[in-house]
Amino acid sequence: MPTRIDTSGVPESFTRFPVRIHDEEPRIALGSATATKTFQHFTKASRTHSSGPYGNVCAMSYPEGDAERVKMCAEILEMFWIYDDVIESLPHDAASEEHNVVIRLLDRKNGDQDSALDADSISTPFQDVGPRMHALDPVGAPFVLSILKQFLREYDSSSMKFDTWEECLPFRVLNVAFRMMDALLQWTIGVYLSPEETELCSAFYMSAARTLGLTNDYFSWNMEQRRPTDRSCSTVPVVMKQYGMSERDALIFVKGLAVDAEETTMKLAIPLKELSSNVKEYVEGMEHLLGANCFWSATAPRYADLSDVEE
């Protein structure tokens, strides 16, 4: 059984969703550590991106999930986190080429090594993700892998600059990898929504996506503004420009948007839990994911400590 975390000692965390942690958190954290070791030539970070004083973010995000799947999830997300940090410093065309290589690698179902790959390429570590996921869960793996590939196709598909946060937010939902987090949620708890259930949950899904994206923008801005790239996507600078606000006021504005989005998500969740046990389990899993995102972000060294961010 997952353990409920008392969030009252962290006033920076504004979520009203419950925060729990998987009872096998140490085992799950090994997934993130494995990814960090695999990518050690590409990052100066001495710790995993997903670590925090209260535990691994995946152990909090998927506290009810199958332990082995959540561990694999932790490894995948850590890989994408490091990959994202590296790829954002590349020119747009070069980044798109790398995305295409990773997409091709995620299509692999066997463990044979690709002789055409450069051993030092940032894409190379992804070549065994597909085979390992298929071995772990041959039924659910194609669904998750299709979402991972879709994320890569959409992630750098636009270099648009936005004039308003209303224009920016739909793209931010794509950029923050919410669809990936949602797919991993369904995979880790073994609950897959039918097309009919997906349609019934569509408004809840979009509200949850906005909640996660805005919450991430609020907490990550301290780090994002110092990244050596002009492709970082955040609503904070858009709000500053749109309303002529100071950085602090824009952060407060974005925080307010996040709180409002969370309230809407909570309202939409109530009737959905009455539809079926399948939908109820999915909605409650999403509540855990959103609660974890806010609480972990409020305490994460990744956002509070800039020692691993290049100036």
Q: List the domains of the chain with CATH numbers.
A: 3-304 (1.10.600.10)
Report H helices in 62-122: 67-87, 92-106
What was the pLDDT predicted at 41? 75
What was the pLDDT predicted at 229? 55
In which element (H, E) is residue 170 found?
helix 165-175
- Orientation of helix 202-224 relative to helix 247-272, angle to 10°: 160
**CA–CA dist 302, 311 (Å, integer):** 15
- How many Cβ atoms sit within 10 Å of the Cβ of residue 307? 9
What was the pLDDT predicted at 303? 80
How does pLDDT run across 194-227, given as a tens digit for each residue?
A: 999 999 999 999 999 999 999 999 999 988 776 6
What was the pLDDT predicted at 87? 82
Confidence of residue 235 (pLDDT cuts 50, 70, 90): very high
**CA–CA dist 114, 124 (Å, integer):** 9
What is the average per-residue pLDDT within 246-266? 97
Residue, of 260 and 47, whose pLDDT is higher: 260
What is the average per-residue pLDDT within 154-170? 79
**161 residue type, one letter:** K
What was the pLDDT predicted at 307? 40
In this predicted structure, the answer to whether residue 160 has a pLDDT above a threshold of 90 is no
Residue, of 24 and 41, whose pLDDT is higher: 24
Mean pLDDT score of the chain, rounded to an integer?
88
- For 187-215, b/e burial (b = at least 16 CB within 10 A) is bbbebebeeebeebbeebbbbbbbbbbbb
What was the pLDDT predicted at 232? 60
In which element (H, E) is residue 192 found?
none
Please report, for residues 84, 93, 115, 201, the alpha-carbon distance to residue 290 in angstroms, rounded to integers and kept in the order given. 21, 33, 41, 16
- Tokens in use for 239? 């709000």
In this predicted structure, the answer to whether residue 309 has a pLDDT above a threshold of 50 is no
Confidence of residue 302 (pLDDT cuts 50, 70, 90): confident
What was the pLDDT predicted at 233? 75
- Tokens in use for 259? 């709180």
